[in-house]
Homo-oligomer: A and B are copies of this chain.
Amino acid sequence: MIQTPDIQRPSKALIDGLAGIGSATAAGELYRLGVRDLNIHGPVAWTRGQSIVGPALTLQFMPKREDLYGADEYADPERQLHRHCLYHTQPGDIVVVDARGDMGSGIFGEMMLTYFKGRGGLGVVINGCIRDYPHCKEVGVGLWLQGVTPNFHTQTNLMPFAVNVPIACNNVLVMPGDIIVADDDGVVVVPVALAPELVKKASEHHEWEEFSKIKLSQGGDLRKYYPLNEEAQAEYQQWRKAQGR
């Protein structure tokens, strides 16, 4: 019987602390902490408007080799490793798949995503495709993909190979249990060890940026209002007072 490892999940407090941060702030702050580029290039939001944070279950596909992955393998669904990855789902989890950029393999279809959703899964990130998109888009799981395809997962070049191991999702190494921050800007991987620093950033409220935005939208001078110069600072204080803050 196949046994695959579970992940070590970060504390709920850590996840909650990152809830509002957004991928853009996460990417910028991680850079300032010395990690150059943890944005996964390639997958884009297919479910616009979602913004999620959660730990990564990882699933690794490898180039298919007929001597290792026979047609009969399918006789026993339990030997299909992409199912095993989903078995580990806990509420709030996000699945990240290395599908090797293949545009002819649909990693998951409607039934797999329905199960994942039923277990509380939040979203999937694939450097590749899903299939069954006409139905999958209704399931409610967040989708960051490079595309869709009618082909099933092992139809052409790939086979599922390992669960909850370190994977490369295009340009980024993803460790099982890393925190994923995903929204319409894309997907950023947050190493657990750096997450507490990011939580601090996430909690900062830039009230003055709100003021800046109003001024800029009215034709205000960028040199004056972003960042606020001395004169604008004074205006801002008056504005705050006027707002009763």
The digit string for A12-37, where 1 denotes a CB below 8 A from any CB of B, is: 00000000001110111001011111
How many copies of this chain does one complex carry? 6
A232 at the binding interface (Cβ < 8 Å): no
Closest to A118 in B: B219
Q: Using a CB-CB cutoff of 8 Å, which residues 95-137 of chain A contact chain B?
A: 100, 103-104, 106, 109-112, 114-115, 117-120, 131-134
A164 at the binding interface (Cβ < 8 Å): no
Closest to A157 in B: B171
Closest to A63 in B: B173
A6 at the binding interface (Cβ < 8 Å): no
Distance of A49 from chain B, by nearest CB (Å): 8
Q: Which residue, of A27, A147, A218, has the highest number of chain B Cβ atoms within 10 A? A: A27
Give the contact-size bracket for chain A.
Answer: 35 or more
Inter-chain contacts of A188 with B (CB < 8 A) = 150
A86 touches B222 (CB 8 A): yes
A241 at the binding interface (Cβ < 8 Å): no
User: Which of the residues B62, B149, B157 comes within 8 Å of A39, measured between beta carbons?
Assistant: B149
User: Which of the residues B134, B161, B183 comes within 8 Å of A134, measured between beta carbons?
Assistant: B183
Distance of A149 from chain B, by nearest CB (Å): 6
A35 touches B65 (CB 8 A): yes
Interface residues of A (CB under 8 A from B): 22-24, 26-28, 31, 33-39, 41, 44, 49, 51, 62-68, 77-78, 83, 86-87, 100, 103-104, 106, 109-112, 114-115, 117-120, 131-134, 147-152, 155-157, 161, 166, 168, 170-173, 175, 183-186, 188, 191, 193-194, 209, 212-213, 216-220, 222-223, 225-227
